[in-house]
Structure 1
C-alpha cells in the first residue's frame, strides 16, 4: 500500500498529518508558496515529495498513482490520515475481492470523531451488496477516505482536468462501474479528517454546481444535464457562478462525452430517486 497525498499551501496541516501515515508516502505539491515542499523534504525523510511547480488540481493524484510501486493506493488530503491498522485491513479486503476497485472507508471528522454524513448514506445505499464485494455497493466516494486498486484506477484514466477539483470522484466512479469494477463501502476501514479552517463555503458551493454540470455533460443523458443546470440556477448566486464557470469548460467536457451503459445509468437514477425520498 502506498499513501498518495495532494496539497497546496497547507504547510501547517501537513506538519500534523504526514507523520501519521504508514507505509510509503508520496506527496504531490500543487505549486505551494508557503514552504510546504521545503518542510516536507527537511523534516519527513520517509515522504517522497514531488514539487509539481503549478496547480494540477485533483489530477495530481494520477501522477502519484503512476509513481506508486504497490498494487493498492490510499488517498489522503493534507488534513486527513488513516487510522492505525486501517491500510493493512484494506489490503486484506482488496486481496480477497479481486473485482473491488474502490474501497470507500468510514471517515471520522474532527477531534470528536463524528462520522461524516456521507458514511450513513453509503451504508444505506440502495444498490445492495453484491456477493463478490465486501460491503454495500456505491457509485461515489470521498477521495480522502478511499483506497483504490492501482490497475483499475489507471485503466479508467484517474481523475480528470475537466472537473479539476471538488466532486472529482463521481465521473471516475461511474467509469469504473461501466468497466465492470466494483465499488463498496467498508465500515471497518477508518480514516480521520480534520478539515482545515481555510475554506470558502460560497466558493465550494459554486464549484459543486460547476462540477455537477460538467460531470453530467460528460456521462449523463441530456435531460439529466438540463435538470442539473436547473438545479444550479435555483441555488442562488453561487449556483449561477457555477453555471458560468461550467460554460467555459463545456467544450472540454463535450470532447470526452461518453454515454454510460444502461445498467450504470439505471443505478445512478435509482440513487437520485432515493436521495429525493430521503
Structure 2
C-alpha cells in the first residue's frame, strides 16, 4: 500500500509468503547492523537460520547483497526498491515547486513526509537558500514521536486509531526534552489536533526545533505532513510560529485542491 491508497483486503491464499519473508530479511539490516550473519538475520526476521541463509544467498545471487562467507551486507542495487516509490509518489512530486518557493520566501528548508508505521519517512525537501541547511534528506526515517511531522499526522487519527498506535510504539529517549510518557504524548497529539500544527522543541537534537502541520487533501484526508526544522536560537519565544507557521499554512492551502 502506498500513502495515497486505502488498504485493500487480500485473500491470504493468493499471497506469496516467500516474498514477504525475503522482504523481512532485507528490512533486518539497519544503520546499527549493516552486516549480519544468517543467524542474526533469522532472529531479526523471525526465521530459522537455514531459511534466512537461503534468502540471503538468493539476494547475493540477484545482486542485492554480498557476503564474505559469514557476514552479509546489502549492495546499492537494493536502492532500486525504494527509488521506484520515491519517483512515483504523486504528492511529494506535486509539492516540490511549492515548498521550493516557500523556502526562498522564508530562508529555511521545508520537508514533506509521511508516517510509515512508527517512523516518519521524509520524501521531498526544498533546496536550501543557505550554504549550510538544516532538515532531513529524502529517504530519512525517524521515530515519529521525536519529530513534529509525527504529531501532525497523528493528530488526524481518531481516538481509537491513536490509542492503538500509542500502545505499540517504543518511546525511546534522545534528549532530555524527548517526550517518552505515552499519556503526555497523547495530550500533545490532542493539542496538535486542536491547534492544527505542532512544534517539537529539541525532541531529537539539542538546539533544533521543528514545526509541522498536516497536509490534507480536498476530502480532508491526511497522509502527509509539511514541516520546517530550524535552530532554536534563531527563533526565540514565539517567533517560530509567528514567522514560519503562516508560510506552512499558505503552502498547505495551495496544495489542498490538487492533492
Tell me which of the two structures has the higher relative contact order, counting C-alpha pairs closer than 8 angstroms and 6 or more residues apart.
1
With normalisation by structure 2, the TM-score equals 0.31
